A and B are shown apart, each in its own frame.
Chain A
Amino acid sequence: MAAPQAIVIGCSAGGLTALETLFSALLPNLEQAIVVCCHTGSSTVELMCELLAQHATLPVVEASERAPLEGGVIHVAPSGYHLLVEATRRFALSVDERVSYARPSIDVLFDSAAEAYRDALIGVVLTGANSDGAHGLACVRSNGGLAIVQDPADAEAAAMPMAALEIAGADYCAPLAAIAPLLNRLCLP
C-alpha cells in the first residue's frame, strides 16, 4: 500500500470503550484523517465526541457535511445519517435506507472512503454484534488499502470482527491494546 492518508474505524456494541482505549494511545502527531462510524442508539453524537475527547490525544469532532477531512483530527459520523467520503475528500451525508439495520452504516463509510483513498487507506473493524463493516473492509482491501480487525477473542462483542475476518480477511488481526501501537507504526514515517 501507499503511505496511509486516512484511517476509517467501525464499531458497534462495546465500541465506545474500545474507542477510548484506542484513542488514548494514538500518537498526537499523527497526520492522517481519522473517521469513525459507531452505531449508537442516541440521537446526538455530541456527547460521544465529548466523552471520547476526554481520552483522546487528538481532537474529536462530529463530521460535518461538505467539510474536508482534516489530518490529525478524529471525525465521528453523525447519528441518523450515512457518512460518505467523496473523491474530493470531503464529507457527504445521506438519509438513504439503513444498511444492515444501521444508519450510519460502516459499509457505506468504508466503501466510499476506499474509492476516495484507494491504497492510502487503513480500515479498522472493532467490537460489535452484527456484520456491518465486513463488506466495506473487503472494499478497502480490493482497492489496495490495509485491513486491521480486532481479535474476536479480545472483543466485547465478537460477531462484527468475526464477520469481517470471514468476508474480508485482514492484514492484521490483533487485540485492542495492540491496535493503536500498530497504527502509530504504520502511519508515522
Chain B
Amino acid sequence: MNGPAHQAPLADADLLDIEVELFVRALKLRHGYDFSQYAPASLKRRILQLVQSQQTGTVSELTARLLHEPAFLAIALEGLSVPVSEMFRDPDVFRALREQVFPVLASYPQINIWQAGCAHGQEVYSLAILLEEAGLYERAQIYATDFNENALHHAQEGIYPAKEAQLWSRHYLAAGGSQSLADYYSARYELIKLDQRLRRHVIFANHNLVTDEVFCEAHLVLCRNVLIYFSDPLQDRTLALFRDSLVRGGFLCLGTRESLDFAPSATDFSAVNAALRIYRLGSRNPGTG
C-alpha cells in the first residue's frame, strides 16, 4: 500500500485525549502557562468542566478561543485552578504547627513563611491568626503566592461566604484557637470579611511553581494539596524548590494525604509528624551542610 500509514478511526475517548493535549499545548505556546506536567485525570476533568461552563461543545473550541481571544486566558486559568480551601482545614495540622513547629520558629528573630498555592487565602488568614495567638505575628512575614491573579485578588480581599463561617469556627476551636473566630471577621449580609489587620505582615505575590524559582529564605513552607495535581517529576522539582528555599532545619507542611513515595527529593526531609505530613529539612544530619 502506498501513501502514509493508515489506521482505523479513533474511539471518542482517544479523540478527547488528543483534544486535551492540543489544548494544553496551545495554553503553553500561546500564553506560556505549562500544564503538561499536571496529573492528567483531574486536569482533564477540569477542562471538561470548562467546556460545560463555557458551553463550547468541544475542547477544540476552547483551544480556538485560547488562541484568538486574549480575554479568554483569565477564564481558562480560573477554570483550571479551581481554588478550593477552608480555614483551618484539618485542624489537627494547625494544632501540630502550633505545638510542634512554632516553638522552634520562636527562636528566630524574623520568621519567614511561604504559603505556596495560597488560592483564595483561607489558610493565609488561618496562619496569621495562629501566629497572632502564639505571640509570633509581629516577627513574621508571610509570602502568599499563587499563579492565578484572580485567586490572589480574592485572597487579598479576604471575603468569603458566611455559610462557611460555622464550619470554620468549629475547625478553629479544634485547632486550639483561644478566642472566637468571629473576633477576626465582620459579617455582613451573606458574606464575612476577614480583619485586614491580619494582612499586615502578608505579601501576596504571583509565583508559578511550575516555572518560577526560589525567591525567599523561609523557615516554614506550607503547600497543602497542590502537589496532588502534579506529575511525579513536577512534584520532585517542586520539593527541590522548597528545599532550596528553606533554611536548614526549616519546616515543610503538605496535605494530609499527599505521598512522597515517588519523589527522590523527599530524602532531604525527615518527618516531624508523618501522619500530618509535617517535615523538616535535613534534620537527620544536623551537623552537616
Contacts and interface: CB of A to CB of B under 8 A. Distances in A.
A81 interface: yes
B45 A97 contact: no
Contacts of A31: none
Size class of the contact patch on chain B: 20 to 34
Interface of B: 13, 39-42, 44-46, 82, 84-85, 225, 228-229, 232, 255, 257-259, 261-262
Contact of A87 (B40, B46, B232): B40
B257 A92 contact: no
B257 A81 contact: yes
A92 B39 contact: yes
B171 to A, nearest CB: 11
Interface residues of A, number: 25
Interface stretch (A52-60, A108-116, A123-131, A149-157): A108-116
A143 B44 CA distance: 16
B261 A87 contact: no
Interface stretch (A62-70, A159-167, A169-177, A179-187): A62-70
Contacts, number: 61
A56 B232 CA distance: 33
A85 interface: yes
A94 B257 contact: no
B259 A84 contact: no
A37 B258 CA distance: 18
A65 B42 contact: no
A84 B42 contact: yes
Contacts of A96: 42, 45-46, 82, 84
Interface string A84-124: 11110000111111000000000010011001101000000
18 contacts: A65-B228, A65-B258, A84-B42, A85-B41, A87-B40, A93-B228, A95-B85, A95-B225, A95-B228, A95-B255, A96-B45, A96-B84, A97-B82, A108-B45, A112-B45, A115-B13, A118-B13, A143-B13
A96 B44 CA distance: 12
Contacts of A86: 39-41
